[in-house]
Amino acid sequence: MKKASILLIYTGGTIGMMKDPVDGTLKPYDFSVFMEEVPELRKFALKIDSYTFDPLIDSSDVEPSMWQALAELIRDRYDDYDGFVVLHGTDTMAYSASALSFMLDDLAKPVVFTGSQLPIGVPRTDGKENLISSIEIASSMDAEGHAIVPEVVIYFNSKLMRGNRTTKTSSENFDAFSSPNYPLLGEAGINIRFFPEYIRKPLSWVAPLRINTTLDTRVSILKLHPGMTPDVLKHLLCGKETRAVIIETYGSGNAPTKPWFLDIIREAVAMGKIIVNVTQCLEGAVNMSLYEGGKAMHDAGVTSGYDGTTESTLAKLFFLLGLSKDNEAVRTRMEASLKGEISK
């Protein structure tokens, strides 16, 4: 029987970092570190090939050009592998996994993002378990030979999560990621248990992977806070270069009801800007018909981001703005679920 095969893509991040003896900071190390530190990789009855990005980066330096390169790499190698594991820094992993979920179309194989809080060479590292289980998830198939998780996912600290539902919620715990508004897709204990009722299935198992790599990044994010001034708000919402603004509002999508605030929102909408409302709360959805402040935003032309994360809302805007120059068409598509990123 043919061995399942996995492509391990190394982009950087803490998992492969080592302490620089000169300045004491963590710096990315080349791929050989994994084979040395994780000899268990040789025990898999799998073919594991690797691809290393050059340069390796701390994920704070991730740019959309890296997402484009990742999408192209996965497309080019798609027929050669049963699944893909992407080793990535934790800081922006939720952005990258969200972006890839939109950029890859007709995906029928797993793309598993993982990383770690402690480098793989450190005795108490969480990287080994994250890496080994991610490989197992990426190679898991059902009785018909179909991937069990044909989605872009994040696996971290025993939790398997839809990538575009995930957010980094701890800078120091091993349990660093959460999926606050969507159930886990699986959980690792003695065995890895999958929860198929929550896993997306492709329309076709045999369709070729298509990718969309045109992204328009003219988007900004504004977090509401008491004490905001008209000048600052206007600058952020009505800037010439901005096509869309994500506003992180209070609670279930509330914002100030002051006339100057709503006037500036209306002005931005009249200029054709897309304004998307997501909540600052970790859990729950925007509901713009619950309170006066939310209703006023709705009436001023603001689009609901429902229960999407800020990370996936940003990536979705980059993706949809890249597909179309027509802001009204983008606004309409923002309200629909493209890849399970909102509960709609």
Residues that bind ligand ASP (CB under 6 A): 12-14, 58-60, 89-91, 115, 117
Q: With respect to ligand ASP, which residue has the nearer C-beta, 64 or 89?
A: 89
Closest to 237 (Cα-Cα) out of 262, 217, 256: 262
- DSSP string spanning 10-28? EEESGGGEEE-TTT--EEE
* Residue 105: C-alpha distances to residues 90, 100, 283 (Å): 24, 9, 28
Peptide bond into 55 cis (omega under 30): yes
Distance in angstroms (rounded) separating the CA atoms of residues 131 and 38: 9
Q: With respect to ligand ASP, which residue has the nearer C-beta, 12 or 294?
A: 12
Cβ-Cβ contacts under 8 Å for 197 (sequence gap 6 or more): none
Q: With respect to ligand ASP, which residue has the nearer C-beta, 179 or 249?
A: 179
Min dist. Cβ of residue 306 to ligand ASP (A) = 28
Closest to 52 (Cα-Cα) out of 83, 18, 103, 86: 86
Min dist. Cβ of residue 176 to ligand ASP (A) = 7
Tell me which H or E stretch contains 33. Answer: helix 32-37
The sign of the dihedral angle between the CA atoms of 35, 38, 44, 46 is negative
The phi and psi torsions of 228 (rounded to 5 degrees) equal -70, 145
Distance in angstroms (rounded) separating the CA atoms of residues 21 and 107: 43
3-state secondary structure of 8: strand
The DSSP call for residue 39 is G
Is 25 among the residues known to form the active site?
A: no
Q: Which residue has the tokens 């054709």?
A: 272
Min dist. Cβ of residue 61 to ligand ASP (A) = 8
Q: With respect to ligand ASP, which residue has the nearer C-beta, 62 or 342?
A: 62
Cβ-Cβ contacts under 8 Å for 160 (sequence gap 6 or more): 137, 149, 153, 154, 184, 185, 186, 187, 188, 192, 194
Min dist. Cβ of residue 281 to ligand ASP (A) = 24
Which member of 11, 14, 52, 279 is catalytic?
Answer: 14
**Contact in structure between 147 and 82 (CB atoms under 8 Å):** yes
Min dist. Cβ of residue 157 to ligand ASP (A) = 12
Question: In the β-sheet with 47-57, what is the strand arrangement from edge to edge?
Answer: 47-57, 5-12, 83-87, 111-114, 152-156, 159-162, 186-188, 192-194
Min dist. Cβ of residue 60 to ligand ASP (A) = 6
Min dist. Cβ of residue 163 to ligand ASP (A) = 15
Which residues are known to be catalytic? Answer: 14
